[in-house]
Amino acid sequence: MNAIQETNFQFPGQTGFYRGKVRDVYAFPEKLVLIASDRISAFDVVLPRPVPLKGQVLNQTAGYFLRATADIVPNWLLSVPDPNVSVGLKCAPYAVEMVVRGYLAGHAWRQYRDGHRTLCGVTLPNGLRENDRLPEPIITPSTKAHEGHDEDISREEILSRHIVSENDYVQLEHYARALFNRGTDMAAQQGLILVDTKYEFGQLDGRVYLIDEVHTPDSSRYFYLDAYEDNQQAGRQQKQLSKEFVREWLITNGFQGKPGQTVPTMSDEWINQISQRYVELFETVTGQSFQPADDADPIGRIEAAIRKTLND
């Protein structure tokens, strides 16, 4: 299948362009056009091979949850003119990501396993095991890095460094918890547990908006609800719907994004497996059947959809 590695368009009225780890962002005076490519990143490194259908899964999952949470907080999304494209309001982003964790997994577990009992200013109790449910969901913010690694940061540091005002930060926390509660309820309806996720917010005309992606496999981790208790009691690993399986494969093959490390070779079989896992997540999380977009000429298809939207 034809995977989308990158785009290089020039549209009338375009004022800027930014290539993120996964998305190509085209800026206009009042709008942003985000193209979800098939690039995949882990440990803040873009891996060398794109994964077919990944961008479509991300874009359509994000659109689904943005529409489902618009009653909680206004969001940036205006339209989805193509399976890989979202068009929305141009907001000024806050320089922090709001990470909400309901379970001790992933990065939080690795920190805990290594002896740390405080994460982003939040103290965790002793005696927890990997994937245990936390006494209550916690917020562990991180700085939003344009290059390199995002960094854990505490609420106190955010306020003392004036990264976000206290009034705004209180609102971001409120929205993050409400979104996580909604995501938890929606996941449970599909037989899943929303383990952890991240939210990004921006501001426009004095209002806070939810921006970027929501509850996607790149921003979230899910467990299967029916097997969770038995797996924990037996000390077995939880089956996940997330990108964590990619990180685990990289770790097993000697890569964690550290200086001097080389990304291991990704075979066609492994790339196809990642693609299938992303499709599985979309269908399981949303309860909808995934319909692959026409990939005969994905770049041409995307460009035509964007030009039509800009002309409407």
Confidence at residue 144, expressed as pLDDT on a 0 to 100 scale: 74
87 falls within a domain: no
64 falls within a domain: no
For 61, phi then psi, to 5°, come to -65, -45
Confidence at residue 148, expressed as pLDDT on a 0 to 100 scale: 54
Task: Name residue 93's beta-bridge partners.
Answer: 202
Confidence at residue 34, expressed as pLDDT on a 0 to 100 scale: 98
On whether the CB atoms of residues 279 and 293 are closer than 8 A, the answer is no
176 falls within a domain: yes
- With cut-offs at 50, 70 and 90, classify the pLDDT of residue 71: very high
**Three-state DSSP class for residue 91:** coil
Rounded distance between C-alpha atoms, residue 180 and residue 135, angstroms: 15
Confidence at residue 146, expressed as pLDDT on a 0 to 100 scale: 57
Confidence at residue 147, expressed as pLDDT on a 0 to 100 scale: 55
What's the whole-number mean pLDDT along residues 41-62? 94
Provide the mean pLDDT of the chain. 94
**pLDDT tens-digit series, residues 208-262:** 999 999 998 889 999 999 999 999 999 999 988 878 889 999 999 999 999 999 9
Determine which of 46-60, 86-100, 235-249 has the lowest per-residue pLDDT on average: 235-249
What is residue 219's DSSP assignment? T
Cβ neighbours of residue 259 closer than 8 Å, sequence gap 6 or more: none
On whether the CB atoms of residues 216 and 234 are closer than 8 A, the answer is no
**pLDDT tens-digit series, residues 267-288:** 999 999 999 989 988 999 999 9
Rounded distance between C-alpha atoms, residue 285 and residue 260, angstroms: 37
Confidence at residue 241, expressed as pLDDT on a 0 to 100 scale: 81
What is residue 243's DSSP assignment? S
114 falls within a domain: yes
DSSP secondary structure of 160-184: HTTSS-HHHHHHHHHHHHHHHHHHH
Range of the domain at 206: 92-242
52 falls within a domain: no
Confidence at residue 221, expressed as pLDDT on a 0 to 100 scale: 92
As for how many domains the chain has, the answer is: 1
245 exposed, middle or buried (CB, 10 Å; 0-12, 13-18, 19+)? middle
- With cut-offs at 50, 70 and 90, classify the pLDDT of residue 294: confident
Residue among 276, 296, 305, 309 nearest 57 (CA): 276
**pLDDT tens-digit series, residues 113-162:** 999 999 999 999 999 999 999 999 999 999 976 555 578 999 999 999 99
Residue 185 maps to which CATH number?
3.30.470.20
**pLDDT tens-digit series, residues 178-221:** 999 999 999 999 999 999 999 999 999 999 999 999 998 889 99
146 falls within a domain: yes
What's the whole-number mean pLDDT along residues 74-92? 97
Confidence at residue 149, expressed as pLDDT on a 0 to 100 scale: 59
What the block records as the tokens of 279 is 């499709």
**Three-state DSSP class for residue 62:** helix
Q: What percent of the chain has pLDDT over 90?
A: 89
Cβ neighbours of residue 297 closer than 8 Å, sequence gap 6 or more: 2
User: Alpha carbon of 144 to those of 51, 102, 223, 224, 256: distances in Å?
Assistant: 24, 21, 26, 30, 19
40 falls within a domain: no
Q: Is the pLDDT reported for residue 94 higher than 80?
A: yes
Alpha helices, H only, the chain = 54-68, 106-113, 155-160, 166-189, 225-234, 244-252, 268-286, 298-311
136 falls within a domain: yes
